[in-house]
Chain A
Amino acid sequence: MGKVILEMRNICKTFPGVRANHNVCIDLREGEVLALLGENGAGKSVLMSILDGFYQPDSGEIYIDGRQVRLTSPQAAIARGIGMIHQHFMLIPVFTALENIILGLELKGDPFLRREAYRSRVQEIIDRYGLAVDLDKRVADMSVGEQQRVEIVKTLFRSASILILDEPTAVLTPGESRDLFRVIKQFQADGKSVIFISHKMDELMEFSDRITILRQGEVITTFDTAQTSIKELASTMVGGDVQWAQNVHEKTAGDIRLRLEDVCIRDQREVEIVKHVSLEVRAGEILAVAGIDGNGQNELAEGILGLRHITGGRIYADGEDITNASVKSLLERGFGFVPPDRKSQGLVLDFSIRDNLLLEEMDRPAYSSRGFLRHREILRFAKELIGKFDIRPANPDALVKNCSGGNQQKVIVARVFSRRPRVLVAVNPVRGIDINATEFIHRRLLEQRKDGACIIVVSTDLDEVFSISDRIAVICQGELMGVCDAAAVTPEDIGLMMTGVRKEDASCG
């Protein structure tokens, strides 16, 4: 193994309320592929954005070839040979590949854009690494895989010797992924180093030299890939030694209230993102849908709630067919939804707490008559919910955008839960909020269960899944890997199933 060319020492980075990185140390050797593994929010992307000069660390040092450097901007990083391929590509869709690759280069000197003068130099890189890119094609007309190759060529053309790839295969087909790893092998052969972030364990095992695991902003350990196993990685990633909060499984489950039969959903691009999912959820039960982000779970939730067209299969509530029913009729039926993105889907940020609490209630005669709002009643209603759900500030007229994430989430939860939903779908209900608000919302969820609600919690966070659910359904690439009893399964097994191992093969109960 080559010499160490990059070192990050004691990197700390805090965002308001979130400790993204704490005393993180990693090192990278010449010609090596280093993988970063961790759950969502473990701090991998922030760490890489620091290395790319996009964020500045609060403290800590970065050394390249043994010399300390300050990476104050992405340009400073690329000048040191560090180039990052973001999950969201930094490309101009209406420009051709060639224009994107040479954009912003050599602005001083000859003012004219001589595309042809660059073409042979760019083509040389394309040929050397076998990156299939049509230089005259507009990026907007390209597949995601080809766009990624343009991004890679752009970075290489700026002489990057350390390449950072943030979940590069998340958007690729299996064939494109194989091609990408062939390209990465070629970098290695050229003495270039690669850091890549991935959730897909089989990829990590096959293509990386070492694997560094982060959890809650800290480096847990680094493995030599040759001397570890998927099982060890999974348990280290989710923290097998962590005591899972004990969920008292009161056997409250009643009749089957929601039934999904062979549900399929295709998205705008006609790609099937939910494939033949069949599930039953009972009254008084919490079913968790676990999975790595972007495996179709959000679309499934939207499908159940009438927000997305079901393209195959049926959904029944209390035995009645509600497939593709209108949102309004589902709300009247007692469906409730805690959406994945509170800021864009759950709240009107520029409204007050009171007005946000009112959104689903304003048609009730108690709060409006003949189209006019009854402010006194509404105020009483808002104050009651603020007290009951401990929303801070306890001022009904405070603007929601000025509340912390936890309190914003409480506003949504208060609004939805106060209607005593019969079927409740909550997507990542505690994402990005602090531990107290998390505990609070989880207690409320358990209360709803006790009241006999039928609850689906979609979550990417295994801690959450285990602390509140009765049963766990695991989804991977739109397919159900299996449904397990929460009391009879280990986080390791769920972790395995999240990466595409079926229940039968995961040896769980």
Chain B
Amino acid sequence: MNNQRINSSSEMDGNIDKLNPFASDLKEFFESCKTLPLFKKLPLRDELEVRKQRLSGGRYLFRPCGIGLHPNESNKIALELLELLKKHLCDRKDELSAIADAMIQEKIIANDFLLQIIKNEGNQIRKVIRDNNLAEDIFTFFAIYFARPFRQFASEYLLEGLDKLNWFSGYCPVCGHWPGLGHINSEGGQRTLWCLSCNSKWNFKRTQCAFCLNEDHQTLQILNPENEESYRIQICKKCKRYLKEVRSIIEVKNFPFDKYYLGTLPLDVIAEQKGYFQESMLTVRYENSEGNELLMYRQKVEFD
């Protein structure tokens, strides 16, 4: 019993539903990737107790050094993904084709490029963009989703056996990227954070900045579009970062995070307009066991 307004007609709901075809194709694509051989050599995985200790110490689990991939598979996956994106992002078809061409002509070796993404080698990625004269934003987008099946596999592999994550840091416990979306359970109000890069989910305190860990409620706020109570961003006046959140009756395990991540772009606009930001999706937190300082490896972007 509370005064929470329940939206009978939500524009955002409508917006998100229109993404259903794209979302379902994307989901099918990820599912099909699961059946393929992704890793020739699996990422390093410690014993369960050691993994628990790593997490207690704020150290994320995924260490990409030493992994082995299947070059042909990687290439196939890249091209398939590009076709999917071309189908749904019609107005960016040409730019996507340019990327595909570059891969077919082996100006970009899909497998090498994939390793660069997984290892968070931002400088290299920027070089590829420049050398091939590609659209920076769509390429970044493609890169994240290209690496996704691999990182997602790694996440499931590394989290095996860990039911309750003793995790209190401002980044993903698997791959170290910052969370892309927060899910708030309609019943009980628990917040779960989701990583766009590897699909990991972890429980996180509501009244805390998911990035700098600020807990002062006077410097944290919730912004939501008028009449859209279920869609909101948590802003932190201390670090100026924001997190998109969706309050939903759909349980976490069934929640289509990708669909909502893409469909809530208006929230990113709001954040930008109010002066809040998120680092590039390619950003990862370097391992740093001392203090709360968040060392971000930022993507420097040149404006036109």
A binds B: no
